[in-house]
Amino acid sequence: MNDERFYPQIDIAGTPREMGLAHGRQLRDRIHATGKAMREKVGVAPYEAGWRAFQETLAYCRTHAPDLVEEMEGIAEGAGIGFRDVFNINAHLDLMVWKRLVWDKRDKGESPGCSSHAVATPSEVLLGWNGDDWRGWLDCGAVVRGRPTGGEPFIYWSLAGSVGRPGMNTHLALGANSLPSHCWRPDGLLYPMLSRRALACRSTEEGVELFRRSNACVAMNYLIADGAGNLADVEMNAERVVVQRPADQGTEDYLLHTNCFLDADLAGAQVDPDAVCPRLTAARRLYREGMPEDAAGVRAVQSDHTGGVCVHREESCTVVSFVAEVRAGRFHVIRGNPCAGWARTYAVG
């Protein structure tokens, strides 16, 4: 029986096509709902124009991530929906940036209010992520656990039909936050594809090198934490990649990030991390008052309302909140706000 308190969870395995078919068949209704919501949010005319504009991106993805494009094709076939709709589900964030910059010709826009936390304790390495966005996505998300043939087992949360987003494998965990994008790069990989590539890595350093050599369509932050306690905070835009470690943020064993650049060059000015974003200010204060030692401690910070880490707005909210225990291989996921939701725990493998 489906319990509406939790996101549905599916298992997929095998080749890219086999995993895609299984994903599409198991989440058919949600994929159709997600595709319909995407078309409505983007608008009919920009949705059509965006598909034409993203042909260069699709060609780039076919060259640099053919397995993930093949998986998308399998998802489309399994769900009985057009490939264009599945590709645009995966291009959700990238497409919204394109719409703002190219279609609407607006340089500034409001970023979804996500937050990532990575902390290494003597006994565990923890990574927490709050994904904040439009409330309608509450009915479109799912937890996907995969065992690719010849690859690393993984688990992630995303919109149904997407090949990746923040999550974990048996070696590391990944968080992500959108950053202010002032240009759109067509010859790059989509955010879910970069996330999935990171979830195939075996260490933080391997993940860092992945991002250093990758092209991204839009500006993003990725937070990586591996079981050895190595933490890295990656900021990238269409032209540059900058990596920060805990010492760069004035800490010893944790990293925090929201939706603002912390690197001065990328931000275009000096950045005070205690003043640049209320959610980051609140999280930094709470970590200084008492660094979390377990998943419950990270969840307490994720549930904070003094700085709005836990988002409650009329049209948007914290759509998903998770904490990954990297060494234990446990993935704790809450549908909706962490202050009021119930966590369901999954093993990676």
Prediction pTM value: 0.96
Two tokens, residue 286: 């709470």
In this structure, the chain runs to a length of 349
- Give yes or no for a contact between 220 and 177, defined as CB atoms under 8 angstroms apart: yes
Long-range CB pairs of 41-50, under 8 A, 24+ apart, other chains included: 41/96, 41/134, 42/88, 42/95, 42/96, 42/99, 43/99, 46/99, 46/103, 47/88, 49/103, 50/88, 50/91, 50/95, 50/98, 50/99, 50/103
* Structural domains of the chain sorted by starting position, each given as residue range(s) with its CATH number in brackets: 14-103 (no CATH), 115-347 (3.60.60.10)
**In sequence order, what are the residues at sequence separation of 6 or more whose Cβ sits closer than 8 angstroms to the Cβ of residue 92?**
38, 159, 162, 191
Answer for the pair 17, 74: CB distance below 8 angstroms, yes or no: yes
Query: What pLDDT does residue 1 have?
Result: 42
Q: List pLDDT tens digits, range 287-337.
A: 999 999 999 999 999 999 999 999 999 999 999 999 999 999 999 999 999
pLDDT of residue 2: 60
- Mean of all residue pLDDT scores within the chain: 95
d(CA 227, CA 230): 7
Query: Tens digits of per-residue pLDDT, 176-210?
Result: 999 999 999 999 999 999 999 999 999 999 999 99
The angle subtended at Cα 319 by Cα 212 and Cα 130, nearest 5°, is 45
* Residue 142 near residue 9, CB atoms below 8 Å: yes
